[in-house]
Structure 1
């Protein structure tokens, strides 16, 4: 049986930290589906279509990565994709507390689905999409935080 993992997130925008988790996840699982969440409680900078396109562009070199999007409960999406694992990247203890709660409820909804926690690379432990957007808004340097195509897209949004 193929091991399929889903790495969910808003990816608004995708950062080098996200790409690190995607790349490392692709080394562990036969297939990684990067699933962009349509989060109705947030006002994203990029549309779902733009986020999917940026992710496809920045992950095209990783053969076993697929990019998709979803709306609704993550566990339903995971089951629909016949995945067995959810990948979650952790930067700090505060991430763990929230993600443990989510993993527990997902486990209650479907005990066959495991959550795989990956610690962020130390060089990305401070990095978030929110920080990138805030820096870009004030024209601060972001080239070390996101891939070039993402930097260009962000700069265009703030022109």
Structure 2
């Protein structure tokens, strides 16, 4: 058991720029399973939930409302390609705050930093209109997060440097 730590490596109002960086970071991974990617969108109103389920037929819907209430609800959509991620994310963010998460990947070893290959905590995320991984508060920018083992600040900085980026804020506790 354990939780990731997430480092922001880009904040931008340009969704294509965020997804381009994500694609470059995926190329740094020593391995990843493209089908282990999903969009998570939160519906806080019946209108949002209806729009999301209309936009993504067959999506998984999980209710988190208290005392049997339907809302808030999480809508999860499986994604298989970066092209599909672009389309799905653009559709989701037109309705509500959401994020794309790639997991089941491996960050490469960084021998000069004493870091072995990382699998368990390796994830990559693009959060739309948010500065946090859970998309709790609206922001004008989209944020790209590198998830890794807690305490591996050097790995996050190294990964970002491989794609001409840098860590742009403090890390946050992941999942």
TM-score, length-scaled by structure 1: 0.28
Which of 1 and 2 has greater Rg? Answer: 2
Higher relative contact order (CA 8 A, sep 6+): 2
More strand by share: 2
More helix by share: 1
TM-score, length-scaled by structure 2: 0.26
